[in-house]
Structures are given as structure tokens and as C-alpha cells.
Chain A
Amino acid sequence: MAKRSNSIKMSMGEKIFQTFNTLLLTLLGISTLYPMIYILVVSLNEGQDSMKGGLFLWPRVFTLFNYQFVLGNGLIQNAYMITIGRTVLGTILGIALTAFVAYGLSFRNLPYKKFILFLMLIPMLFNGGLIPYYLQLNRLKLINTFWVYVIPGLFNIWNMFVMRRFFMDIPESLRESAIIDGANEVVVLFRIILPLSLPMLAALSLFTAVGHWNDWFSGAFYVNDNKLIPVQTYLQRLLSADSLSMIFGNNRMIGEAAFRQTQVSKMTVTSIKMAAVMIGTLPILCLYPFLQKYFIKGVLIGSIKE
């Protein structure tokens, strides 16, 4: 596009269009960002003061109290650990397992390959639905354990197909020459195939990690132990809470509770909620700009397959 503007002088109409376009996109950009800025502002403002309204761009009575309050809560600290644990474990184990299967299936002369692939295609088209799935989790004794977050999602069929496609595009000759040099399949996979696929693996890992981070569903329905819920499920429960006692949870730390009693008047439920939301989202928002190029690559890798 840049080339064209150099070669041909911009006409008046084009200039107007460019200005208009820039304005429009800036506006769209602001309306995309604004909701998050607003949440940030409310979370940084003193609760009682927020109730008066009129908060738009900048906290009027700045305070970190909402954050201190949320971060000091035992339930959310615990939820944080659960989220981090499932994200790390689920992503690393999941990508590894899926990559192994994909590598195995990328061999052109694998016996029964057609049958195995067919077996994997069917679940992409048809599934048993939520209830039989739940009953199956129950039968496997996964309900109400931490592993219900990790194990069922380990093998991802879609990712497997993307990886397999990618592995198959790596020239066969590379593998063959390594084999001649005395490497076995495991060495080939770790020394040649995986390093070459790094951008793709990074992209898929990031998608998987974001999926884990943002998943509230399994925490809400497959688990009923408060000690096992992840941050997003915690937020989901908090969403419908309108009293502060629901936010505290049934905490037995009396000293902390007494401390709260004195502070409760200083804040409102809304401010606390917003602080909790920011805490649940911030890690992704902070990492996001650095990881953007991988995300985009990942989308395009996925689309090549089609």
C-alpha cells in the first residue's frame, strides 16, 4: 500500500479519505479500549466516591485499597494458585502430548493411519454433549479434583491436525539424513522437528494457555470445593454477589475479618469487583503486546489447513 502513495500523488479525495479513515479507526480503537480503562479507573478510585458517578478517565480519589483488599483475600490467592497451576501444567503437558501424537501420525507409511485419523475426525463433528461428558468425568473420579482442569483437555484434536500438517511440511530429507547419521526417532523429534516448529508451537501454546486462564466453566460445574476454583470461576461467582460477605467467602481468619469491618465503609462492592477483575485480567493484558506476533501467526497457521 505504501508503494502506491509514493508513486502517485495523493488526490484531494484521497487525502480526505485518509483523514476520515484515521479518525474513524482512532474512534473505534478508543471504544475498544475504553471499557477496560474504565474498569481500571473504578478499581483505582475510592469506593464511596465512585458511587457519586462522574468518573470517566482518571481516578478522582486515588487509592490502592481495593487491590490490597482483594489481594489480601485468602480465597483469591488460592484461586490464583489454581489458575497458574492449571495453565502451566495444562499447557506444557497438553502441547507435549499433542505434539507426540501429531509427530507419530505425520509419518506417511504409518500402518492404520487412515483409520486413526478417521477416529480423530469424528469427535470434531459429533459429540456426546455435556451431560454424558459430565457423567464420564464422574466415573473417572475427576469431578472435584484439580485434575479435571488438566487431564480432559490434554489432547486437542484440532491442535493435533495443525501440528501434523506443519510437521508434514518439513522436508523428509532432513529426517532421513539424521537417521543415517545414527539418530533415533526421539532425537529427530527433539533436535530437528520441534525446533523447526517453534513459532507454531509457541502460537498453539499461547492459545492453550489463554484458554486455561479464561476458563470458568469447568471450575463452576465440575468442582464444588471452594479451594479448587480458579480465578475466572471466582469472578463468575462474584459477579452476582451484591453483599461483601459473599466476596469474603467463609473465611475463618477472624483477625482479618475484624480488620475488614473497619474498612468496609471505605469501599463499595463495585470497586472491589473491579479490582478483582483487573487482577484476573492484568497478566494477559500485560503479556499480550509481546506475544501478539505469535498469536497472529497462529491464526494464519490454523487457516492454512482449511
Chain B
Amino acid sequence: MIILFNYMPMVGLQIAFKSYTVGNTIWNAPWVGFKNFWFLTDSEFWRIVGNTLSITVLRFITSLPAPIILALLISEVKREWFKRTVQTVSYLPHFVSWIVVAYIIDAFLSPNGGIVNQIIQFFGKDPIFFMGEIEWFRPIVVISAIWKETGWNSIIYLAAIASINPELYESAKIEGAGKLAQLRYITLPCLIPTIMLLFTLSIPSILSAGTDQIYPLMNNANLEVSMVLDTYILINGLQQGYYSMASAVGLLSSTIGLILVLCSNKLAKIISGEGLW
């Protein structure tokens, strides 16, 4: 199984260095060296790398603290039923597909009849065609990612908070520490290992903005900012049939991903004294 679906594609990567055309077999295609890497000198390619990075970095900065804050808030709730309800609701979007998220965005932001635009019009302003304007694309991606995954990602922090020894809080209270001081000197320091671990784990994904989320949101109007590496490979490779070139892009990003994984593993070892494997 893994040989068929994981290793054979790796062997198939050789087409990155070949001139492959449909109908030919991978083995028979002529070698062309690094010719398929012509995209490296293409300014469009670098713009796409820039798009990818700005989406992943923005999403990363916002989606790191959000679940921590949510977990802190939830852990302070004292009524069990309320706590459970909040948790149930906040995990829910995780199980909704990105396609459905795209529909929701569409329904909310549509210039004719979308809720957001109705509110804008209520205040006497002109409706905004959010999906068609370049500067709105990144905020939409980031906000929808927060909406979908914050609750889910907070599970692990909630577990970490719950495992903090309650005696620490008791003695802090006796010492006269207020809520903020407890947060600052007990809760956050106890969460640092978890935060660092998740941080290092997410470094390698910096080059993948995620076809799942991005592709459904793409349209001709926002192509300039919405084209990311994943969708570039997809569209050039599967839709246009530039197999060799798209493989070369894929090879490059997998290789960088591998290097980043190895680095972040090293980093995790240094920080927590324990590697990921």
C-alpha cells in the first residue's frame, strides 16, 4: 500500500527532470535536467510564493493565540452545562467542509442580499463586492480559518490547562495573587511547552496554504492574490497538463518542507529536550 501510493509517486518525481507529455510513459520520457525549473526565473512564480507566505503567515499569527484565549476563557467558566455547551458549539465548524465555508462566505458577503452588505447599506454606504476585491481576500481567508478551527484547536490547550496542579492556584490565592497574576505566573508558563510544540509542528506547513480552503474561494477577480503554490501546481498540472513543470514546483516545495520539518524537530529537541520522534 505505502509503496503504491507513497513511494511510487516519489519515483514518479523524476518527471520533474524530464520532458513528459501525455501518452508517454514516465520511464521513456527524455531527461532534460533542470529545464523544468524555468519557473524560478519567472516573476509570476515569486509573486505566488509571496501570496502563499502572506496567507500562511497571517493565518499563523492569528490562529496561534486565538485557541489559547478561547481555552482560557472556557476554563474559567464555573457552570458545567454552560461550559459544555460553549465547547460543543465551538468545535462544530471543524466538521463542516471548506466548500460549505465558501458558501457561507458567499451568503454573508454577497453584494446582493448578503447580510454584511445589508448592514453596510443600512448605514448609507455602497455595498462592497468582497470576493471581487483583492484587498479583502486575505482577511476573508484568515477570518474563515479562525471561525473554523479555533474551537477545535482549543481542545489541546483545555486539556493542558486542566492538567495544571490546582494547588498552585490555591497557594497563589493565599499569597494574594489576583486573576491576572495567576494567569501571568501560573497558567501561561504551564502552557509554554504545549504552545512551543504546536508552534514547531506548524512550521513545515508554511508553504502550503491549503487547496481545500483556497481553491473554493478563488475567482477570476482575485486571482492576483489568491493563487498560491498548491493551487498553482493543481491548475498548471492537472488542469493545463504541464505535468513536468508542476512536478518540479511540487518537488521544490516538498524539499523545503522536509528541511523545515527536520529543523523544527531539532528546535523541539532543544526547547523541550524531546524530539517529535
Contacts and interface: CB of A to CB of B under 8 A. Distances in A.
Q: Is the interface of A mostly helix, strand, loop or mixed?
A: helix
A55 to B, nearest CB: 8
A253 interface: no
A56 B156 CA distance: 34
21 contacts: A17-B76, A22-B77, A25-B82, A35-B147, A36-B104, A39-B107, A126-B255, A128-B254, A129-B13, A130-B233, A130-B238, A131-B233, A131-B246, A132-B10, A133-B9, A134-B238, A280-B99, A281-B97, A288-B95, A306-B201, A306-B276
Contact of B178 (A13, A28, A270, A300): A13
Contacts of B159: 300, 303
Contact of B92 (A14, A33, A38, A232): A33
B250 A129 contact: yes
Interface of A: 1-5, 8, 13-14, 17-18, 21-22, 24-26, 28-29, 31-33, 35-36, 38-39, 42, 50-54, 56, 97, 119-123, 125-136, 140, 152, 154-155, 157, 210, 213-217, 221, 232, 235-236, 239-240, 270, 273-274, 277, 280-281, 284-285, 288-289, 292, 295-296, 299-300, 303, 306
A236 to B, nearest CB: 5
B169 interface: yes
Nearest to B20: A135
Contacts of A33: 89, 92
Contacts of B123: none
A117 to B, nearest CB: 10
Contact of B2 (A120, A126, A214, A306): A120
A134 B88 CA distance: 38
Contacts of B247: 129, 131-132
- Which of A2, A215, A306 gathers most chain B CB within 10 Å? A306
A288 B88 CA distance: 9
A21 B76 contact: yes
B98 to A, nearest CB: 8
A140 B76 contact: no
A285 B2 CA distance: 33
A35 B26 contact: no
A235 B13 contact: no
B243 A125 contact: no
A212 to B, nearest CB: 11
Interface stretch (B43-51, B56-64, B67-75, B133-141): B67-75
Contacts of B249: 129
Contacts of B212: 217
Given A21-B76, A133-B9, A239-B103, A125 B258 contact: yes
Contacts of A1: 75-78
A239 B106 contact: yes
A54 B114 CA distance: 9
Contacts of B108: 35, 38
Contacts of A214: 95-99
Contacts of A13: 178-179
Interface residues of B, number: 85
- Which of B110, B113, B155, B219 gathers most chain A CB within 10 Å? B113
Q: Which 6 A-B pairs have the closest CB atoms?
A: A129-B250, A128-B9, A132-B12, A214-B97, A123-B6, A132-B9
B2 A131 contact: no
A21 B179 CA distance: 13
- Which of B8, B9, B92 gathers most chain A CB within 10 Å? B9
A32 B237 CA distance: 37
Given A36-B104, A130-B246, A215-B97, 8 more contacts: A3-B166, A125-B262, A128-B6, A132-B8, A132-B247, A154-B1, A280-B97, A299-B152
Contact of A131 (B88, B89, B238): B238
B104 A54 contact: no
A56 B114 CA distance: 10
Interface in B1-57: 1-2, 4-13, 15, 26
A288 B147 CA distance: 18
A1 B173 CA distance: 13
